[in-house]
Amino acid sequence: MADVCPECKSKKVNRDYERGELVCGSCGLIITDGIMDSGPEWRAFDADQMKSRARGGAPISYMRPNKGLVTEIDQYNRDIRGARISTKKQAQLYRMRKWHKRASIASSKERNLAIALSELDRISSYLGLPDSVREDAALLYRKCIEKGIRGKMIEAVVAAVVYAKCRECGIPRTLTEIADVSGVKRKEIGRTYRAVTDELSLHIPLANPTYYIPRFAAALKLSGEVQERAIELIKKASNKKLISGRGPTGLAAAAVYTASLMLGEQRTQKEVAEGAGITEVTIRNRYKELKDELGLKME
DNA sequence: AAGACGAAAGTGGTTGA
DNA sequence: TCAACAACTTTCGTCTT
């Protein structure tokens, strides 16, 4: 991808995946080249066509594997009246059991995967994730299955692998956002994420606060200069060891807030907090730290 | 009246014994 | 496994613009 702003030739182009936009970090121009449209690739000209072409399908909960209805061949070699059955028949039953089991295991795995992949599709299109991430997440999901992540809902594992891949690829998505679109509790995703990373011994770097800045700034309709300034602030703060232990979103939000003040594009703490999905108080605390530690003076 | 600020108490998660 | 702990949130009162 040619990440050069056509307007000012700056190479500081930030990607905003949620909106599918490239935003120039220097002049704030929104570059529309190479945008991904997450909408359907077909068109519908009337309601009938819409109906026949839409492939969204029913909510995932209707697609549970077998809905608990299963066929089993029991282990007792008795007929319906309780009488023993012949050795020949017993051998036949043994073979039937064996194959029946194999068949149902194979198909249950397939069903599981089918559900997981459709859920993955759903989540990633809600989050506007690029195909590459989606593919990677699918691969990771398969690995999880092979490793036998147990006792977790499919949806939770899917959400966890999506979160993991987002972090790995530097695409900022918070746990809360993923929880909102997946219908799995944030806590549960966190737990599952941990289980997954432990089990597969993945080492995923901490989210970098600067990744969030373009999104937060765009949500508040702030210029490219503010973004630039915010990123600068984060960099300075990281030199001062202000980063460790703090939530990356809080820092990013505080940096955006501070930058908006410095450049006279003021936003209220409440607005920034809402855009970033955290509270004003946290912004205040981070803002105070930034101000104190960096010795900033506002005009 | 709205926003900024800060204190205090509560919550969920991490860590170390 | 449990308690201590840090980060964050919620709530609320006060100050500033």
Question: In the predicted model, what is the mean pLDDT of residues A126-147?
Answer: 84
**Assigned domain for A228 exists:** yes
> What range defines the domain where residue A171 resides?
108-199
Question: In the predicted model, what is the mean pLDDT of residues A60-89?
Answer: 62
| Nearest alpha-carbon partner for A202 in A120, A143, A133 | A143
- Is A114 found in the same domain as A192? yes
Point out the domain boundary residue: A199, A226, A251. A199
- Distance from residue A110's CA to nucleotide C11's C1', rounded to whole Å: 50
- Is A273 found in the same domain as A217? yes
**Assigned domain for A100 exists:** no
Question: Closest residue by Cα to the C1' atom of nucleotide C8?
Answer: A282
- pLDDT of A59 reads 38
What residues contact A100, with CB distance under 8 A and at least 6 apart?
A71, A72, A73
Positive or negative torsion for Cα A193, A195, A200, A201: positive
**Assigned domain for A84 exists:** no
* Long-range CB contact pairs, A131-134, < 8 A, 24+: A132/A169, A133/A162, A133/A165, A133/A166, A133/A169, A133/A171
- Is A214 found in the same domain as A184? no
Element (H, E) at A208: none
If one counts the domains in chain A, the total is: 3
Question: Closest residue by Cα to the C1' atom of nucleotide B5?
Answer: A284
- Is A113 found in the same domain as A187? yes
Q: Using one digit for the tens of pLDDT, what is the confidence trace for A75-106?
A: 777 777 777 778 888 888 888 888 877 776 66
**Assigned domain for A189 exists:** yes
- pLDDT of A5 reads 63
- Distance from residue A26's CA to nucleotide B17's C1', rounded to whole Å: 52
Contact A130, A21 (CB under 8 A): no
- Is A178 found in the same domain as A136? yes
Q: Above 70 in pLDDT, residue A165?
A: yes
| CA A159 to centroid of chain Cα atoms | 6
**Assigned domain for A70 exists:** no
* CATH for A190: 1.10.472.10
- Distance from residue A142's CA to nucleotide B5's C1', rounded to whole Å: 50
| Nearest alpha-carbon partner for A259 in A222, A209, A289 | A222
pLDDT classification of A227: cutoffs 50, 70, 90: confident
Question: Across chain A, which distance is largest between two alpha carbons, in Å?
Answer: 96
- Is A239 found in the same domain as A188? no
Q: Using one digit for the tens of pLDDT, what is the confidence trace for A184-220?
A: 888 888 888 888 887 777 777 777 888 888 888 888 8
Q: How far is CA A17 from CA A127, A129, A154, A169, A228, in A?
A: 8, 7, 25, 12, 18
